[in-house]
Structure 1
Amino acid sequence: MKTFDAIIIGAGQAGPSLAGRLTAAGKTVLLAERKLFGGTCVNTGCMPTKALVASAYAAHLARRGSDFGVTIDSPIRIDMARIRERAATVTQNARSGVENWLKGMERCTVVEGHARFAGPNEIEIDGERYGAPNIFINAGGRANIPDMPGIDQIDYLTNRGILELDRLPEHLVVIGGSYIGLEFAQMYRRFGAEVTIVEKGPRLISREDEDISEAIRQILEKEGIRCVLNAECISFRKADNGIEVGLDCDETSNVVGTHVLMAVGRRPNTDDLGLDKAGVETDARGYIKVDDRLATNVPGIWALGDCNGRGAFTHTSYNDYEIVAANLLDGGDRRHSDRIMGYALYIDPPLGRVGMSENEARKSGRPLLVSTRPMSRVGRAVEKDETQGFMRVIADAQTRRILGAAILGTGGDEAIHGILDMMNADADISTLQWAVPIHPTVSELIPTLIGDLKPADRQ
């Protein structure tokens, strides 16, 4: 058995950077990757999908040219093969960068193959055994496919398969009204497909406040996307002209699409790692249980990224690496519970979110201050003729600390960082209120938003 100081399973966002820190500290590292270097973000997540979002935005803006006094003589046409090629190039370049970095890293041995635990300090890859006192699991996740009637009788797409399409679907039916589903729904509508979103719950993205969900529904429907809510009994069957999706328990309502995208959440890649042989505990959904420092119940084994259930984002995975590296190599005491969660929904306009929603803050029982401002009163949005959405800040009336914020509007995914930084600095709201931001920007309205904070019961 070959031995190392550390073994890393998976080359997603946390694994390569951790390998870099460990090898720089003089440690020998084995990094095992069974398929694609770079993980979900590089291969089937952020990078290719945001490349597609950019292409969809270009098509949308071109169609709106006359609104800006720009005349395009020829009709707008979509070249899906070129769009796919562009996204694939973005992915390939990033994947090659990660792979070349790891394979050229001193003291790092890269083995391509499926790693499984053979014991608490051992893994096996293609019949070869490797041991280390420290093992870090960065196995990622994949699309969750629930057991729905007829699902095994149809060919469906996931976030991975839809990236391979080089022809435009005539009618895309998206199952799931959350982040992944909404992004693909809007981009394919802008490419020219008919799109229907089917959501089991009463509203889209149920974790957000009701008015945000409603505003997003209106944005999508304005572009011609059909949203079917309260579809409690979703079923599938083959039809002569595509796939018939049943929408209710009585099977009296349905929609027929040429393609179906399953976007109903994610599941961790932990079911085939041999975790039982190492004694590593998982929860009912398969996520690896970790403590506040991302250690599992087995000494010397940590879990980072999507497989630990502590955040399903590229930035939280990278922060997992930062926490583990700081604690092991820098004498730190960093914890994932100290992390202030921020994220974005990349429809157009995007939703930038940090901290608590207003609903969550109200349930906490704290005395609240709330301020909401429509994007139609943001000069930058008016100048760009992109005034859909609104921005909101929630603060604790006693501590005068920001609890959360949402910016649904142009530039919201970037502007939210001003609030995120203030929350991380644990600053009083007056600190941000008296900042002097650049004009004209979306961010310049944040001090005004802070200045308009009022008790929640007066909203």
Structure 2
Amino acid sequence: MPAYDAIIIGTGQAGSPLAGRLTDAGMKVAIVERNLFGGTCVNTGCTPTKTLVASAKTAQMARRAAEYGVVLDGPVRIDMKKVKARADAVSGASRDGIGKWLEGMANCTVFRGHARFVDRNSVRVGDDVLTAERIFVNVGGRAILPAIPGLAEVPHLTNSTIMDLDVVPEHLLILGGSYVGLEFAQIYRRFGAKVTVFEPGPRLIRREDEDISRAVADILAAEGIDVIVGAANLAVGRSGGGIVVSHDGSNGLKAVSGSHLLVATGRRPNTDDLDADKAGIALDAHGYIIVDDALRTTVDGIWALGDCNGRGAFTHTAYNDFEIVAANLLDDDPRRVTDRIPVYALYVDPPLGRVGLTETEAKKTGRRLLVSTRPMTRVSRAIEKGETQGFMKIVADADSGEILGAALLGTGCDEVVHSLIDVMYARRPYQQVRRGVHIHPTVSELLPTMLAEFRPA
């Protein structure tokens, strides 16, 4: 049995950089990958989808060219094969770069295959049994396929398999009105598909405040995307060569026919075929590996990083998991998961940048709150760009001045939000930064103005 100082299962955004740190520290490392180097982000997540977002944005701006005094002859046409080829090339370059880096890394051996635990110190990969005192699990997650009647009998796409499309669907039906579903809804609507989104809940992206949900729904509706909320008792079936989604509507059973079906109802961890029980690793009721604040599992010498631990579902949280583990193990630096502030973005156009608590969550804390809002129609940069949809909202503690959270929905707001993230990590009250002078004309320049315009919630 080949013995190593460390075994890493998975080459996602936590596993690969961890291999670099461990080998730099003089350890002999085995890293195992059963599919594609780079994990979800590189292959079916951030990298290819945001490449599609860029193509869709270009198509939309071409349609609006006349508004800017730019004359284009003829209608905008989409070459979906070229769109896909571009996304594949961007994703492939990143994947190949990670593979070459790992395979050329001194003291690192790459094993291709499915890793399963044998015991707390051993992992089987094909005919090989690898042993180490330290094992790091970075196996990621995949789409949930809900128990919807008829779903197993009809062709359907997930966030992964939709990346294989090289045609524009005639009518894309989407189950799920949250982040993944809405991004694909706008992408394919801008490519020319008719799109219908079915959300069982009372509103879209229900973890956000209601005003944000309404604003996002308005943005999508303005582009001709049909959104059905409160879609109870969903069922799926065939109709000729197409697909039908039925649901209980306000006036009885309703059905919508389409050409393609995307299931975007959530994700689950890839732990069901890991044989974690043989190592004594505890999982929660949803299959996530239970970890402490330093990402140690219930078994000494085994850590879990990335989507499989249920402590974050983003590339940036996975990378931070790597930083936390490396800091504790190699740097005598006691970093913790609870040190990080929740932050993420919804990449519809315009994007939503989110940090900290929502206004609804902040009110539940019982603190006295201050809130400041500004519509994008009052942002010079947005007006000049002709992109005035959305609004910005910041919430603070009235007594301490601590910024508790923000929701910035508008052009460039996935970048603008970082100004607030930095203030929150610095633990500085808003009073100390509201006099900052920002560059004009930008969206960020309005943040100090908003901090000076707080009102009691």
Offset of 1:241 from its aligned partner?
4.0
Q: Which residue is equivalent to 1:359? A: 360
Question: Which residue of the partner structure matches residue 442 of structure 2?
Answer: 441
What letter matches 2:318 in structure 1? Answer: S
User: Helix, strand or coil for the counterpart of 1:433?
Assistant: coil
- Residue in structure 1 matched with residue 274 of structure 2 by the alignment: 273
Q: Distance in 2 between matches of 1:390 and 1:261?
A: 29
The equivalent of 2:254 in structure 1 is 253
The 2-side partners of 1:201 and 1:365 are apart by: 27
Letter in 2 for 1:262: V
Structure 2 gaps of 5+ residues are none
| TM-score normalized by the length of structure 2 | 0.99
User: Alpha-carbon deviation of 1:248?
Assistant: 1.5
Paired-residue identity, %:
58
Q: How does 1:96-111 map to 2 (within 5 A)?
A: 96-111=96-111
Corresponding residue of 1:305:
306
- Alpha-carbon separation, structure 1, partners of 2:241 and 2:112: 42
Report the AA paired with residue 317 of structure 1: A
> Is residue 196 from structure 1 mapped to residue 196 from structure 2 by the alignment?
yes
**Over residues 39-95 of structure 1, what are the superposed CA-to-partner deviations in whole Å (9 max), with x where a residue is unaligned?**
000000000000000000000000000100001012211000000000000110000
Query: Aligned residue for 2:327?
Result: 326
State how 1:17-416 maps to structure 2 within 5 Å: 17-248=17-248, 252-416=253-417
Provide Cα deviations, 1:76-118, integer angstroms capped at 9, x if missing partner: 1100000000000011000000000000000000000000000
Quote the Cα distance in structure 2 between the aligned partners of 1:428 and 1:75.
51
Q: What whole-Å deviation, never above 9, does each CA across 1:172-199 have from its counterpart, x for those lacking one?
A: 0010000000000001000000000000
SS across alignment from 1:234: strand
Within 1, Cα distance between the matches of 2:140 and 2:167? 29
Question: Which secondary structure does the structure 1 equivalent of 2:253 belong to?
Answer: coil
CA deviation map 1:122-147 (0-9, x unaligned): 00000210100000000000001111
- Shift of residue 251, structure 1, vs aligned partner: 6.7
Alpha-carbon separation, structure 1, partners of 2:224 and 2:246: 21
Deviation of 1:158 (Å): 0.4
Residue-by-residue CA offset, 1:363-403 (whole Å, 9 max, x unaligned) = 11001011011000000000001000000100011111100
Per the TM alignment, residue 258 of structure 1 is displaced from its structure 2 partner at its CA by: 0.4
Separation in 2, partners of 1:297, 1:335: 16
Aligned to 1:246, what secondary structure does the other structure show?
strand
Unaligned runs of 5+ in 1: none
- CA distance in 1 between counterparts of 2:248 and 2:78 reads 35
* CA distance in structure 1 between the aligned counterparts of 2:102 and 2:432, rounded to whole angstroms: 43
- Partner amino acid, structure 1, of 2:301: G
Alpha-carbon distance in structure 2 between the residues aligned to 1:8 and 1:308:
15
* TM-superposition CA deviations, 1:155-175 (whole Å, max 9, x none): 100011111111110000010
Q: How many angstroms apart in 1 are the aligned matches of 2:388 and 2:329?
A: 47
Following superposition, the deviation at residue 432 of structure 1 comes to: 1.9
Secondary structure in structure 2 of the residue aligned to 1:18? helix
Q: Aligned to 1:5, what secondary structure does the other structure show? A: strand
Amino acid at match of 2:142: R
In the alignment, residue 236 of structure 1 is paired with which amino acid? V
Greater Cα shift, 183-192 or 235-244? 235-244
| 1:190-247 CA-partner distances (Å, limit 9, x unpaired) | 0000000000000000000000000000100010000001011110111114001011
For 1:404-424, what per-residue CA distance to the aligned partner results, in whole angstroms no more than 9, with x for missing partners? 001100001000000001000
In 2, distance between residues paired with 1:388 and 1:431? 30
Aligned partner letter, 2:331? D
| Deviation beyond 3 Å, 4+ runs, structure 1 | none
Q: Work out whether 1:421 is the aligned partner of 2:426.
A: no
Amino acid across the alignment from 1:147: A
Q: Determine the C-alpha separation between the residues in 1 that align with 2:399 and 2:117.
A: 51
Aligned residues: 456
Distance 2:241 2:2 in 1: 56
Normalised by the size of structure 1, how large is the TM-score?
Answer: 0.99
Give, as a single letter, the amino acid of the residue that structure 1 aligns with 2:328: N
CA–CA separation in structure 2 for the residues paired with 1:248 and 1:36: 41
Secondary structure in 1 aligned to 2:30?
strand
Opposite residue 206 of structure 2, the aligned amino acid is S
Cα offsets for 1:246-298 (capped at 9, x unmatched): 11189720101100000001000000001010000000000000000000000
